[in-house]
Amino acid sequence: MSPSAANSWKPEEVVRRWLKLYLTAKIETVQLKIDAILQNEALIKRYRPRLANLSWRMKSNREPIARRANA
């Protein structure tokens, strides 16, 4: 994903993509979570470049595995 593609997303698209990757809550709470994040522009500004950054995504995938292995 290119940063220019991520920059063209509307805030709700950024939030939906982020939650699709990281939300572990029940489906009923998804819209509540979307609404809460949409109120916080700082979070959207933080999530947008992370969604477009493959290195950041790979790091976030490996972290839980490393934590379990170290435990």
Q: What is the pLDDT of residues 11-40, one digit of tens each?
A: 999 888 888 887 776 766 788 888 999 999
pTM of the full predicted structure? Answer: 0.65
| Pair 39, 12: CB distance under 8 Å | no
In sequence order, the 6+-apart residues with CB closer than 8 A to the CB of 57 are 21, 50, 51
In sequence order, the 6+-apart residues with CB closer than 8 A to the CB of 56 are 50
Q: Cα–Cα distance between 37 and 14 in angstroms, integer? A: 10
Q: What is the pLDDT of residue 42?
A: 94
Whether the pLDDT of residue 54 is over 80: the answer is yes
